Amino acid sequence: MVTILLLGAPGAGKGSQARLIEEEFGYKQISTGDLLRKEISDNTDLGMQVKGIIDKGELVSDDIIFEMLEHRIKESDCNKGIIFDGFPRNISQAERFPSLLGKKLDFVINIEVPFDVIIKRLSSRRQCTSCGAVYNAISNPTNVDDVCDKCYGHVIQRDDDKEETVKNRLEVYTKQTEPLIEYYKNKGNFYTFDGNRDIKVIFEEIKELLNK
């Protein structure tokens, strides 16, 4: 089983790259953000519990994340490989990660994008509420307004992509998530990509790395 970790600020393009890797290599994207949003849209107890936290741009508790992941990685569609997108989010999750995975990560891919670009991107980002496909109202709009090209689901602006939450998410990223770069840099298999380029250009480079 191949295991890939995608690091980067919200809006750096982790989800877009994860989907391209999934299509090309057949590894499964696991986005903890998508899993949490599914709980919210299904109105589960867990969804109710985390909604306020996500809307504020704070992190949900490590225990919730690990319990959710334990179930998800056991599913058979993960046998070939997993792309972790949005997890770990802090050092304590990273330290607990090996016990969940039982093996070393094969690739840690860090996608770097300046914050001013991120802020612009997030304000025009749109996402399908059914399949999670990501669009951009300016640079990559849906063919039909608010309708997903892939699954015909409803495409919206995420509540936490609104300006007031984005600021806090970037602060949380800087304080809690960015230190993971140093943490993983020292462990090997660490690669940084300039994410301020066309999605496909970045993917070609990532593909080359994964094919090595």
Cite the active site residues. 14, 89, 125, 158, 169
> Is the Cβ of residue 65 or residue 108 nearer to ligand AMP in the bound state?
65
Q: How far is the CB of 91 from ligand AMP (least distance, A)?
A: 12
Q: Output the smallest distance, CB 173 to ligand AMP, in A.
A: 9
3-state helix, strand, coil in the chain (%, to 5): 50, 20, 30
DSSP string, 93-149: HHHHHHHHHSS--SEEEEEE--HHHHHHHHHHEEEETTT--EEETTTB--SBTTB-T
Structure token digits, residue 164:
């007031």
Query: What is the smallest separation between the CB atom of 85 and ligand AMP, expressed in angstroms?
Result: 7
DSSP labels for 56-103?
HTPPPPHHHHHHHHHHHHTSGGGSSEEEEES---SHHHHHHHHHHHSS
CB of 160 to ligand AMP, least distance (A): 6
Token reading at 194: 């300039």
Which residues of the shown chain bind ligand AMP in the complex (CB under 6 A)? 10, 32-33, 36, 53-54, 57-60, 65, 86-89, 93, 160, 169
Instruction: Select 59 or 111, whichever has its Cβ closest to ligand AMP.
Output: 59
For the CB of residue 34, give the shortest distance to ligand AMP in the complex, in Å.
6
Instruction: Specify the residue, 57 or 81, whose C-beta has the smaller distance to ligand AMP.
Output: 57
B/e letters for 141-168, b = 16+ CB within 10 Å, e = fewer, are ebeeeeebeeeebebeebebbeeebbee
Q: Which residue is nearest to ligand AMP (CB)?
A: 33
Identify which of residues 21 and 60 has a Cβ nearer to ligand AMP in the complex: 60
Helix axes 45-56, 32-41, angle to 10 degrees: 120
Q: Report the residue number, 20 or 134, with the smaller CB distance to ligand AMP.
A: 134
